[in-house]
């Protein structure tokens, strides 16, 4: 295999070639580092340290030579800059954490490293994972002097989605075979959909949140993003598992090998199609691609079942009360005392807090802190926060009613394909675009997005699959069977 083709390999193929020593981990790392440089105009990476990566790759080669090394031995990956890493700085794409060096690795990072993965660097995202277009990063990507929006490799004038936009762009441009992302209200599924790749958010509590910089703790989950369901299954199997001492919401459910179910038949699989996901807000091009992919599922033996998720519309106001409420509490730790930015000049302690936070946080983060503080304040708590909690429970119950009639739920991941950079300046229009990913997030259910074709101007469309708790294997199996019958996931942007 010539080195120029190495980046076209998926995780499974790459891992096999590394194990058989057809290529070395050092060669693979060098190849992807060179690609990252070649495509740095996308703004996908916020930090790269070649020496660190190559040292990890040499260590992986040494293990492979001894016949050791885990399932991902030598496979280069990259992490969203929300996961703390001791070998790379961690910023959460915020000025508040510029230059911050963590003394430890996030559990997900530790687990992937234990499996032999080599870290290429850290990936751009929206500040503190707040956003859906990756236009809110406050950190200059590698190769730039100032912060930039991340660009979509399918059309560099368009957004890659967010908040894991750097992650999605990196996979779509083949700058890494697979990466990590986080999903609080859709940040794995929506950018996966915008960039024509596959991504899965597991059941809440399956992947440890230890070392994941908190946005909204009752919603935040880590997950993999890659080209195919098979690659995501490989990574997710290594990422999950109990971490009870370090994350109080970690579930005591053993790690699972999600690749084991990949080839199960989906004959007779009941796919619920929620009417509310196909209303007026859905653009015609996305609807056409999603409808065609549902037909493909019928050809594969699945049965489509009409279902209803009646509170879908309420998921937007509910999420945009609860997530900011939790964010305002989580972000109170950034006060200039323990870590990160501190204002240079201040009169007294209160002034130091104020100036530090005014300088350190970007506009969207400040907006959420204000909304959060408002909905939690006396007098408004009952009217907003408590009501939102109640409706959250009803949304979760609606899913359980739906799962009596179906095994998985399918619909669009987002109402449109990727929009133009700068095209949605009003925050509310950004929030509304999250409507199809928020319900599963609020219910804590696993959700996946897979490439399902192309819409207007050749932009990718994602099909979302939502399963009941702990059905990641079933979702990945359903996605894998689709990918064996179609080639949308193998298509790539021009020039990539």
Q: How many angstroms separate the Cα of 16 from the Cα of each of 26, 185, 244, 476?
A: 15, 34, 33, 20
DSSP 406-440: -SEEEEESSSSSPPBTTS--SHHHHHHTTTTTHHH
CA dist list (Å): 81 to 104, 189, 322, 409, 446: 14, 17, 23, 31, 22
Q: What number of helices (H) and strands (E) belong to the chain?
A: 15, 11
Tell me the closest approach of the beta carbon of residue 63 to ligand GLN, in angstroms: 34
Does residue 131 bind ligand GLN (CB under 6 A)?
yes
Binding of residue 149 to ligand GLN (CB under 6 A): no
Smallest separation, CB 274 to ligand GLN (Å): 20
**Residues tagged active-site:** 80, 163, 187
Which of the ranges 184-192, 238-246, 252-260, 308-316 carries the binding residues for ligand GLN, by CB under 6 A? 184-192
Rounded to a whole number of angstroms, the minimum distance from the CB of residue 336 to ligand GLN is: 25
Residue nearest to ligand GLN (CB): 187
d(CA 377, CA 374): 5
Which positions from 314 through 343 interact with ligand GLN, judged by CB under 6 A?
323
- How big is the chain by its Cα radius of gyration, in Å? 21
Structure tokens at 188: 């794995």
E strand or H helix that includes residue 329: helix 315-330
DSSP secondary structure, 261-315, as one string: TTT---TT-EEEEEGGGGSTTS-HHHHHHHHHHHHHHHHTT-EEEEE--TTGGGH
Rounded to a whole number of angstroms, the minimum distance from the CB of residue 31 to ligand GLN is: 30
Q: Which residues from 205-244 bind ligand GLN, rule CB under 6 A?
A: 215
- What is the smallest separation between the CB atom of 224 and ligand GLN, expressed in angstroms? 15
Stretch that binds ligand GLN, among 21-29, 110-118, 125-133, 352-360 (CB under 6 A): 125-133
Q: Which two tokens stand for residue 315?
A: 């998921």
Q: Does 183 bind ligand GLN (CB under 6 A)?
A: yes
Neighbours of 157 (CB within 10 A): 11
Is 10 a binding residue for ligand GLN by CB under 6 A? The answer is no
Measure CA of the first residue to CA of the last residue in the chain; give whole Å: 18
Query: Is 184 one of the binding residues for ligand GLN (CB under 6 A)?
Result: yes
CB of 25 to ligand GLN, least distance (A): 31
- Using the contact rule CB under 6 A, the part of the chain among 124-132, 284-292, 333-341, 482-490 near ligand GLN is 124-132
Residue 341 or 368: which CB sits closer to ligand GLN?
Answer: 368
State residue 386 phi and psi, 5-degree precision.
-65, -40
Cα separation, 178 vs 227, in Å, equals 7
Selected range binding ligand GLN among 51-59, 123-131, 409-417, 485-493, rule: CB under 6 A? 123-131
Q: Yes or no: say if 18 and 25 are a contact pair by the CB < 8 Å rule.
A: yes
Binding of residue 132 to ligand GLN (CB under 6 A) = yes
Which residue lies nearer to ligand GLN by CB, 219 or 229? 219
- CB-based contacts of 312, cutoff 8 Å, min separation 6: 274, 276, 277, 435, 436, 439
Count the site residues for ligand GLN by CB under 6 A. Answer: 13
CB of 192 to ligand GLN, least distance (A): 12
Q: Which stretch binds ligand GLN (CB under 6 A): 56-64, 181-189, 446-454, 486-494?
A: 181-189
- Our finding on whether 180 is near ligand GLN (CB under 6 A) is no
Residue from 17, 90, 152, 163 binding ligand GLN (CB under 6 A): 163
- Least gap, CB of 216 to ligand GLN (angstroms): 8
CA dist 167 → 194, 274, 284, 430 (Å): 12, 29, 27, 19
Member of 119, 148, 167, 187 binding ligand GLN (CB under 6 A) = 187
Among residue numbers 466 through 495, which ones bind ligand GLN (CB under 6 A)? Answer: none
Closest CA to 342 of 80, 145, 99, 77: 99
Q: Which is nearer to ligand GLN, 187 or 250 (CB)?
A: 187
Residues 6+ apart with CB under 8 A from 393: none
Residue range at the interface with ligand GLN (CB under 6 A); choices 177-185, 305-313, 390-398, 405-413:
177-185
Q: Which of 14, 120, 129, 251 binds ligand GLN (CB under 6 A)?
A: 129
- 434 forms part of the interface with ligand GLN (CB under 6 A): yes
439 contacts ligand GLN (rule: CB under 6 A): no
**Which residues sit at the interface with ligand GLN, rule CB under 6 A?**
129-132, 163, 183-187, 215, 323, 434
């Amino acid at each position: 295999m010539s080195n120029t083709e190495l980046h076209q390999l998926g995780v499974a193929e790459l891992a096999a070639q590394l194990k058989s020593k057809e290529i070395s981990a050092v060669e693979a790392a060098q190849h992807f580092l060179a690609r990252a440089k070649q495509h740095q105009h996308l703004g996908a990476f916020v930090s790269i340290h070649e020496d660190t990566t190559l040292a990890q790759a040499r260590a992986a080669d040494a293990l492979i030579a001894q016949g050791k090394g885990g399932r991902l031995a030598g496979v280069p990956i990259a992490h969203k800059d929300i996961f703390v890493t001791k070998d790379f700085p961690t910023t959460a794409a915020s000025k508040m954490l510029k230059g911050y060096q963590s003394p430890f690795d996030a559990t997900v990072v530790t687990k992937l490293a234990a499996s032999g993965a080599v870290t290429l660097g850290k990936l751009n995202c929206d500040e503190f994972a707040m956003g859906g277009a990756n236009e809110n990063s406050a950190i200059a990507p590698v190769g730039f002097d100032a912060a930039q929006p991340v660009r979509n490799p399918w059309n560099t004038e368009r957004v890659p989605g967010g908040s894991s936009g750097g992650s999605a762009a990196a996979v779509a441009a083949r700058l890494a075979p697979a990466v990590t992302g986080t999903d609080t209200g859709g940040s794995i599924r929506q950018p996966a959909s915008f960039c024509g790749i596959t991504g899965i958010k597991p059941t809440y509590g399956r992947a440890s949140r230890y070392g994941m910089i908190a946005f909204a703790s009752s919603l935040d989950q880590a997950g993999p993003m890659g080209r195919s369901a098979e690659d995501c299954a490989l990574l997710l199997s290594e990422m999950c598992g109990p971490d009870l001492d370090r994350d109080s919401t970690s579930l005591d459910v053993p790690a699972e090998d999600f690749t084991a179910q990949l080839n199960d038949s989906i004959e007779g699989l009941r796919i619920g199609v929620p009417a509310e996901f196909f209303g007026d807000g859905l653009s015609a091009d996305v609807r056409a691609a999603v409808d065609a992919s549902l037909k493909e599922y019928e050809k594969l033996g699945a049965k489509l079942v009409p279902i209803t998720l009646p509170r879908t519309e309420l998921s937007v106001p509910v999420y945009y009360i609860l997530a900011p409420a939790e964010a305002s509490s989580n972000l109170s730790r950034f006060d200039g005392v323990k870590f990160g930015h501190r204002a240079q000049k201040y009169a007294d302690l209160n002034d130091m807090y104020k100036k530090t936070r005014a300088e350190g946080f970007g506009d969207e983060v400040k907006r959420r802190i204000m909304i959060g503080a408002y909905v939690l304040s006396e007098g408004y708590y009952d009217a907003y926060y408590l009501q939102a909690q109640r409706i959250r429970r009803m949304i979760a119950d609606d899913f359980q009613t739906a799962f009596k009639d179906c095994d998985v739920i399918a619909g669009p991941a987002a109402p449109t394909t990727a929009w133009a950079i700068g095209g949605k300046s009003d925050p509310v229009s950004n929030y509304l675009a999250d409507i199809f990913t928020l319900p599963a997030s609020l219910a804590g259910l696993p959700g996946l997005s897979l490439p399902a074709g192309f819409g207007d101007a050749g932009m990718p469309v994602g099909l979302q699959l939502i399963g009941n708790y702990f059905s990641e294997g079933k979702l990945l199996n359903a996605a894998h069977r689709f990918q064996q019958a179609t080639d949308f996931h193998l298509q790539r942007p021009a020039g990539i």
